Protein backbone atom coordinates (compact mmCIF):
# COMPACT_ATOMS: atom_id res chain seq x y z
CA UNK A 1 0.00 0.00 0.00
CA UNK A 2 2.77 2.39 0.94
CA UNK A 3 4.62 1.45 -2.21
CA UNK A 4 1.59 2.44 -4.33
CA UNK A 5 1.31 5.77 -2.54
CA UNK A 6 4.99 6.50 -3.01
CA UNK A 7 4.72 5.52 -6.68
CA UNK A 8 1.78 7.90 -7.20
CA UNK A 9 3.56 10.72 -5.38
CA UNK A 10 6.70 10.13 -7.44
CA UNK A 11 4.69 10.12 -10.67
CA UNK A 12 2.89 13.33 -9.69
CA UNK A 13 6.17 15.04 -8.83
CA UNK A 14 7.72 13.89 -12.09
CA UNK A 15 4.79 15.19 -14.11
CA UNK A 16 4.89 18.49 -12.22
CA UNK A 17 8.61 18.92 -12.93
CA UNK A 18 8.17 18.14 -16.63
CA UNK A 19 5.20 20.52 -16.94
CA UNK A 20 7.10 23.29 -15.14
CA UNK A 21 10.13 22.73 -17.37
CA UNK A 22 8.04 22.81 -20.57
CA UNK A 23 5.60 25.59 -19.62
CA UNK A 24 8.01 28.00 -17.94
CA UNK A 25 9.20 29.57 -21.25
CA UNK A 26 5.58 29.88 -22.41
CA UNK A 27 4.46 31.58 -19.19
CA UNK A 28 7.51 33.83 -19.30
CA UNK A 29 6.93 35.04 -22.86
CA UNK A 30 3.21 35.59 -22.21
CA UNK A 31 3.99 37.65 -19.12
CA UNK A 32 6.62 39.59 -21.09
CA UNK A 33 4.08 40.38 -23.81
CA UNK A 34 1.92 42.25 -21.27
CA UNK A 35 4.76 44.42 -19.98
CA UNK A 36 5.60 47.89 -21.20
CA UNK A 37 8.98 48.57 -22.71
CA UNK A 38 9.87 50.74 -19.75
CA UNK A 39 9.05 47.90 -17.36
CA UNK A 40 11.29 45.56 -19.35
CA UNK A 41 14.13 48.07 -19.34
CA UNK A 42 13.82 48.78 -15.62
CA UNK A 43 13.29 45.16 -14.66
CA UNK A 44 9.83 45.80 -13.20
CA UNK A 45 7.93 42.62 -12.24
CA UNK A 46 4.53 44.16 -13.05
CA UNK A 47 2.39 42.74 -15.86
CA UNK A 48 -0.63 45.05 -16.06
CA UNK A 49 -1.20 48.83 -16.16
CA UNK A 50 -2.80 48.77 -12.72
CA UNK A 51 0.47 47.77 -11.05
CA UNK A 52 2.49 50.36 -12.93
CA UNK A 53 4.61 47.95 -14.94
CA UNK A 54 2.42 46.65 -17.70
CA UNK A 55 0.98 47.71 -21.02
CA UNK A 56 -2.02 45.37 -20.93
CA UNK A 57 -3.33 44.48 -24.37
CA UNK A 58 -1.68 47.50 -25.98
CA UNK A 59 1.29 45.43 -27.19
CA UNK A 60 -1.06 43.06 -29.03
CA UNK A 61 -2.94 46.00 -30.57
CA UNK A 62 0.32 47.54 -31.75
CA UNK A 63 1.49 44.24 -33.25
CA UNK A 64 -1.78 43.53 -35.06
CA UNK A 65 -1.91 47.08 -36.43
CA UNK A 66 1.66 46.89 -37.65
CA UNK A 67 1.66 46.78 -41.47
CA UNK A 68 4.84 44.69 -41.58
CA UNK A 69 3.31 42.06 -39.30
CA UNK A 70 0.06 42.00 -41.30
CA UNK A 71 2.00 41.23 -44.48
CA UNK A 72 3.93 38.54 -42.62
CA UNK A 73 0.70 36.88 -41.41
CA UNK A 74 -0.69 36.76 -44.94
CA UNK A 75 2.61 35.40 -46.26
CA UNK A 76 2.88 32.71 -43.60
CA UNK A 77 -0.71 31.55 -44.04
CA UNK A 78 -0.51 31.44 -47.83
CA UNK A 79 2.91 29.84 -48.11
CA UNK A 80 2.25 27.29 -45.35
CA UNK A 81 -1.13 26.21 -46.73
CA UNK A 82 0.13 25.87 -50.32
CA UNK A 83 3.22 23.91 -49.23
CA UNK A 84 1.07 21.69 -47.02
CA UNK A 85 -1.52 20.99 -49.74
CA UNK A 86 1.04 20.15 -52.42
CA UNK A 87 3.17 18.03 -50.07
CA UNK A 88 0.20 15.99 -48.82
CA UNK A 89 -1.15 15.32 -52.32
CA UNK A 90 2.20 14.24 -53.74
CA UNK A 91 3.18 12.31 -50.61
CA UNK A 92 -0.14 10.43 -50.54
CA UNK A 93 0.30 9.20 -54.11
CA UNK A 94 3.99 8.39 -53.65
CA UNK A 95 3.48 6.61 -50.32
CA UNK A 96 0.63 4.54 -51.75
CA UNK A 97 2.85 3.40 -54.61
CA UNK A 98 5.69 2.55 -52.21
CA UNK A 99 3.36 0.61 -49.91
CA UNK A 100 1.47 -1.30 -52.61
CA UNK A 101 3.89 -1.82 -55.50
CA UNK A 102 6.92 -4.08 -55.56
CA UNK A 103 9.94 -2.63 -57.32
CA UNK A 104 13.69 -2.65 -56.94
CA UNK A 105 15.15 0.01 -54.73
CA UNK A 106 12.07 0.55 -52.55
CA UNK A 107 14.09 0.54 -49.33
CA UNK A 108 16.66 2.82 -50.91
CA UNK A 109 13.92 5.33 -51.79
CA UNK A 110 12.58 5.34 -48.23
CA UNK A 111 16.05 5.63 -46.73
CA UNK A 112 16.93 8.48 -49.08
CA UNK A 113 13.68 10.25 -48.19
CA UNK A 114 14.49 10.02 -44.49
CA UNK A 115 18.06 11.25 -45.02
CA UNK A 116 16.80 14.25 -47.01
CA UNK A 117 14.26 15.07 -44.29
CA UNK A 118 17.09 15.15 -41.72
CA UNK A 119 19.49 17.14 -43.92
CA UNK A 120 20.86 20.35 -42.32
CA UNK A 121 18.83 23.31 -43.55
CA UNK A 122 21.67 25.81 -43.17
CA UNK A 123 23.86 23.97 -45.68
CA UNK A 124 21.37 24.70 -48.48
CA UNK A 125 20.95 28.42 -47.90
CA UNK A 126 24.01 29.50 -49.92
CA UNK A 127 23.30 27.44 -53.06
CA UNK A 128 19.59 28.29 -52.96
CA UNK A 129 20.36 32.00 -52.62
CA UNK A 130 22.42 31.96 -55.82
CA UNK A 131 19.98 29.71 -57.70
CA UNK A 132 16.88 31.71 -56.73
CA UNK A 133 18.46 35.01 -57.80
CA UNK A 134 19.33 33.44 -61.16
CA UNK A 135 15.84 31.95 -61.65
CA UNK A 136 14.09 35.08 -60.31
CA UNK A 137 12.57 33.13 -57.43
CA UNK A 138 14.27 35.16 -54.72
CA UNK A 139 11.83 36.99 -52.43
CA UNK A 140 8.79 35.16 -53.80
CA UNK A 141 6.26 32.73 -52.36
CA UNK A 142 7.41 30.00 -54.75
CA UNK A 143 10.99 30.54 -53.62
CA UNK A 144 9.95 29.46 -50.11
CA UNK A 145 7.39 26.81 -51.03
CA UNK A 146 9.92 24.71 -52.97
CA UNK A 147 12.50 24.50 -50.12
CA UNK A 148 9.74 23.75 -47.63
CA UNK A 149 8.47 20.89 -49.79
CA UNK A 150 11.98 19.52 -50.27
CA UNK A 151 12.10 18.79 -46.53
CA UNK A 152 8.47 18.10 -45.67
CA UNK A 153 7.69 15.86 -48.64
CA UNK A 154 10.20 13.09 -47.72
CA UNK A 155 8.97 13.11 -44.11
CA UNK A 156 5.34 12.95 -45.26
CA UNK A 157 6.15 10.06 -47.61
CA UNK A 158 7.84 8.14 -44.80
CA UNK A 159 4.90 8.72 -42.44
CA UNK A 160 2.19 7.84 -44.95
CA UNK A 161 3.93 4.76 -46.35
CA UNK A 162 3.97 3.23 -42.86
CA UNK A 163 0.27 4.00 -42.49
CA UNK A 164 -0.70 2.60 -45.90
CA UNK A 165 1.05 -0.69 -45.12
CA UNK A 166 -1.34 -1.20 -42.19
CA UNK A 167 -4.45 -0.98 -44.41
CA UNK A 168 -5.63 -4.46 -45.52
CA UNK A 169 -5.10 -5.04 -49.23
CA UNK A 170 -8.34 -7.07 -49.33
CA UNK A 171 -10.50 -3.97 -48.79
CA UNK A 172 -9.22 -2.40 -51.98
CA UNK A 173 -9.62 -5.65 -53.88
CA UNK A 174 -13.20 -5.98 -52.64
CA UNK A 175 -13.99 -2.48 -53.92
CA UNK A 176 -12.58 -3.37 -57.35
CA UNK A 177 -14.59 -6.60 -57.42
CA UNK A 178 -17.73 -4.51 -56.80
CA UNK A 179 -16.94 -2.52 -59.95
CA UNK A 180 -14.78 0.33 -58.69
CA UNK A 181 -11.77 1.37 -60.70
CA UNK A 182 -8.30 1.47 -59.13
CA UNK A 183 -8.58 5.26 -58.75
CA UNK A 184 -12.08 5.03 -57.21
CA UNK A 185 -10.93 2.36 -54.76
CA UNK A 186 -7.98 4.51 -53.78
CA UNK A 187 -10.04 7.70 -53.41
CA UNK A 188 -13.13 6.26 -51.70
CA UNK A 189 -11.65 3.40 -49.65
CA UNK A 190 -7.93 3.86 -49.00
CA UNK A 191 -7.75 7.61 -48.46
CA UNK A 192 -10.59 7.74 -45.86
CA UNK A 193 -8.96 4.88 -43.95
CA UNK A 194 -5.63 6.69 -44.06
CA UNK A 195 -7.11 9.96 -42.77
CA UNK A 196 -5.13 9.96 -39.46
CA UNK A 197 -1.86 9.53 -41.35
CA UNK A 198 -2.81 12.23 -43.85
CA UNK A 199 -3.67 14.58 -40.99
CA UNK A 200 -0.33 13.86 -39.36
CA UNK A 201 1.59 14.54 -42.56
CA UNK A 202 -0.36 17.75 -43.11
CA UNK A 203 0.22 19.00 -39.57
CA UNK A 204 3.96 18.23 -39.65
CA UNK A 205 4.28 19.99 -43.01
CA UNK A 206 2.37 23.00 -41.76
CA UNK A 207 4.47 23.17 -38.59
CA UNK A 208 7.72 23.18 -40.56
CA UNK A 209 6.53 25.86 -43.00
CA UNK A 210 4.98 28.05 -40.30
CA UNK A 211 7.94 27.91 -37.90
CA UNK A 212 10.76 28.18 -40.44
CA UNK A 213 13.21 31.01 -39.84
CA UNK A 214 16.34 30.11 -41.81
CA UNK A 215 14.77 30.04 -45.27
CA UNK A 216 12.45 32.92 -44.42
CA UNK A 217 15.28 35.25 -43.42
CA UNK A 218 17.74 34.10 -46.12
CA UNK A 219 15.54 33.89 -49.22
CA UNK A 220 13.57 37.12 -48.77
CA UNK A 221 14.56 40.77 -48.67
CA UNK A 222 11.23 42.64 -48.50
CA UNK A 223 7.77 42.25 -47.00
CA UNK A 224 6.52 40.69 -50.24
CA UNK A 225 7.22 37.11 -49.10
CA UNK A 226 8.78 37.40 -45.63
CA UNK A 227 7.00 35.06 -43.13
CA UNK A 228 6.26 35.76 -39.46
CA UNK A 229 9.43 34.30 -37.84
CA UNK A 230 11.65 36.33 -40.16
CA UNK A 231 9.49 39.45 -39.82
CA UNK A 232 9.85 39.39 -36.04
CA UNK A 233 13.60 39.80 -36.38
CA UNK A 234 13.01 43.15 -38.13
CA UNK A 235 10.96 44.60 -35.29
CA UNK A 236 12.90 47.63 -34.04
CA UNK A 237 11.98 50.41 -31.70
CA UNK A 238 13.07 54.02 -31.47
CA UNK A 239 16.42 52.87 -30.17
CA UNK A 240 18.04 50.30 -32.51
CA UNK A 241 20.25 49.12 -29.63
CA UNK A 242 17.27 48.44 -27.36
CA UNK A 243 14.89 46.03 -29.09
CA UNK A 244 11.18 46.20 -28.12
CA UNK A 245 11.15 42.92 -26.19
CA UNK A 246 7.50 43.24 -25.15
CA UNK A 247 6.32 43.77 -28.75
CA UNK A 248 8.44 40.85 -29.91
CA UNK A 249 6.90 38.69 -27.19
CA UNK A 250 3.39 39.72 -28.23
CA UNK A 251 4.20 38.91 -31.86
CA UNK A 252 5.61 35.53 -30.84
CA UNK A 253 2.44 34.74 -28.89
CA UNK A 254 0.25 35.68 -31.86
CA UNK A 255 2.37 33.51 -34.15
CA UNK A 256 2.10 30.58 -31.74
CA UNK A 257 -1.69 30.64 -31.37
CA UNK A 258 -2.47 28.86 -34.71
CA UNK A 259 -0.09 26.01 -33.84
CA UNK A 260 -1.64 25.56 -30.39
CA UNK A 261 -5.16 25.56 -31.85
CA UNK A 262 -4.24 22.95 -34.47
CA UNK A 263 -2.65 20.67 -31.89
CA UNK A 264 -5.62 20.93 -29.52
CA UNK A 265 -8.16 20.18 -32.24
CA UNK A 266 -6.29 17.38 -34.00
CA UNK A 267 -4.19 15.85 -31.22
CA UNK A 268 -5.89 12.44 -31.47
CA UNK A 269 -5.37 12.21 -35.21
CA UNK A 270 -1.76 13.35 -34.84
CA UNK A 271 -1.04 10.67 -32.22
CA UNK A 272 -2.81 8.01 -34.30
CA UNK A 273 -0.77 8.92 -37.36
CA UNK A 274 2.56 9.04 -35.53
CA UNK A 275 2.00 5.64 -33.92
CA UNK A 276 0.87 3.98 -37.16
CA UNK A 277 2.97 0.92 -37.91
CA UNK A 278 4.45 0.84 -34.42
CA UNK A 279 2.26 -2.09 -33.39
CA UNK A 280 1.13 -4.82 -35.73
CA UNK A 281 -1.88 -7.01 -35.30
pLDDT, one tens digit per residue, over 20-79 is: 888 888 888 888 888 777 777 666 655 554 455 556 688 888 888 877 888 999 999 999
Confidence of residue 227 (pLDDT cuts 50, 70, 90): very high
Q: How many Cβ atoms are within 10 Å of 91's Cβ, its own excluded? A: 27
* Amino acid 280: pLDDT: 46
User: What is the residue extent of each domain of the chain?
Assistant: 66-274
Measured CA to CA, the distance from residue 7 to residue 5 in angstroms comes to: 5
Average pLDDT over residues 121-137: 90
Per-residue 3-state assignment (H helix, E strand, C coil) for 138-173: CCCHHHHHHHHHHHHHHHHHHHHHHHHHCCCHHHHH
Cα separations in angstroms, 194 against 15, 25, 99, 100: 33, 36, 12, 14
pLDDT at 221 over 70: yes
Average pLDDT over residues 190-207: 83
* Amino acid 78: pLDDT: 94
* Amino acid 163: pLDDT: 80
* Residue 104, phi then psi, degrees to nearest 5: -70, 140
* Number of alpha carbons in the 13 Å side-chain half-sphere of residue 182: 4
pLDDT at 158 over 90: no
* Amino acid 7: pLDDT: 79
Measured CA to CA, the distance from residue 194 to residue 261 in angstroms comes to: 22
* Amino acid 49: pLDDT: 47
CATH code of domain 66-274: 1.10.3720.10
Amino acid sequence: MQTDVKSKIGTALGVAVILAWCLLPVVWIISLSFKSQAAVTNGSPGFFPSDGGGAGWQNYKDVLHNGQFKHAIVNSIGISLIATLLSVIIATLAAYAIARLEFKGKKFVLTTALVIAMFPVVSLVGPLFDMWRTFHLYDTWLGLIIPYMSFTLPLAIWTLSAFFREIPWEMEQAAQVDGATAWQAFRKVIVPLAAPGVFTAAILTFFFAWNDFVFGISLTSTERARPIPAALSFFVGQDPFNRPASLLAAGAVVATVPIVVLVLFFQRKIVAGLTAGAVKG
